[in-house]
Amino acid sequence: MTDKIRVLISEEDVNKKISEIAALINRDYEGKAVHLICILKGGVFFTCELAKRITVPVSLDFMSVSSYGSGTESSGVVKIIKDLDEPLEGKHVLIVEDIIDSGRTLAYLIEILQKRNPADIRLCTLLDKPERRVKKQVRVDYTCFTIPDEFVVGYGLDYDQKYRNLPYIGVVEQ
Ligand code: IMP
Ligand code: MG
């Protein structure tokens, strides 16, 4: 059975916003190189589109984490499934995420990555659901869209591993 998906943010609007966020990054990192850390799998589409629009020197690395939890709640205890290939020492790190929900995953991840002595760590997310935030200390530097508390798919985000490839952001209708 195929689910009915309502478009929440069109492909055109997503791409336009990514260009605007990339322009801010280009301004803020002028004269520096930015080290993008893509959080797999959800962050992969956004990372590619963002990286293509960044004009300062870019390096890329990937990390895959799983958050233990019951049901739809993440616990904040993060298991590293795939660690980074490169050291972070002295680098201007920009973490690229698909969505920040409770913030538990990111709070834990930032703590781990800080210990690797980067020059600085900033956070960039495609979507933010601030209503759901539990970890208030997670400061997001670049947000493409703030959305209400709805379960969304597309542009990297999945429902049971499906719909990551949708070129827009949608809501699965019940
Ligand atoms: P948290 O911020 O630790 O609660 O977890 C964030 C993670 O939960 C994201 O990286 C997504 O993998 C997943 N997630 C949260 N909300 C959604 C959603 O609306 N659709 C798909 N995945 C979601
Ligand atoms: Mg994710």
Q: Where are the beta strands (DSSP E) in the chain?
A: 4-9, 34-40, 58-68, 77-82, 92-100, 120-128, 142-146, 152-153, 169-173
Q: Is 61 designated active site?
A: no
Residues in the chain: 174
- What's the confidence (pLDDT) of residue 60? 98
- Looking at beta carbons, which pairs linking 51-59 to residues 24 or more positions away fall under 8 Å? 53/18, 53/19, 53/22, 53/23, 54/22, 54/25, 54/26, 54/29, 55/26, 56/25, 56/26, 56/29, 56/30, 56/31, 56/32, 57/33, 58/33, 58/34, 59/33, 59/34, 59/35, 59/86, 59/91
What distance in angstroms lies between residue 68's CA and the mean position of ligand 1's atoms? 12
Taking only the tens place, the pLDDT of each residue in 128-151 is 999 988 888 889 999 999 999 999
Lowest mean pLDDT among 88-92, 102-106, 151-155: 102-106
Q: What backbone torsions phi and psi does residue 83 show, to the nearest 5 degrees?
A: -90, 170
**Out of 13, 83, 101, 128, which one is annotated catalytic?**
101
Lowest mean pLDDT among 30-34, 118-122, 138-142: 138-142
Looking at residues 12-36, what average pLDDT do you find? Answer: 98
The preferred substitution site among 137, 147, 153, 157 for testing ligand 1, maximizing ligand atoms within 8 Å of CB, is: 157
Ligand 1 in reach of 67 Cβ (< 6 A): yes
What distance in angstroms lies between residue 12's CA and the mean position of ligand 2's atoms? 23
Grade residue 76 by pLDDT with cuts at 50, 70 and 90: low
Contact 166, 2 (CB under 8 A): no
Contact 96, 47 (CB under 8 A): yes
Ligand 1 in reach of 125 Cβ (< 6 A): no
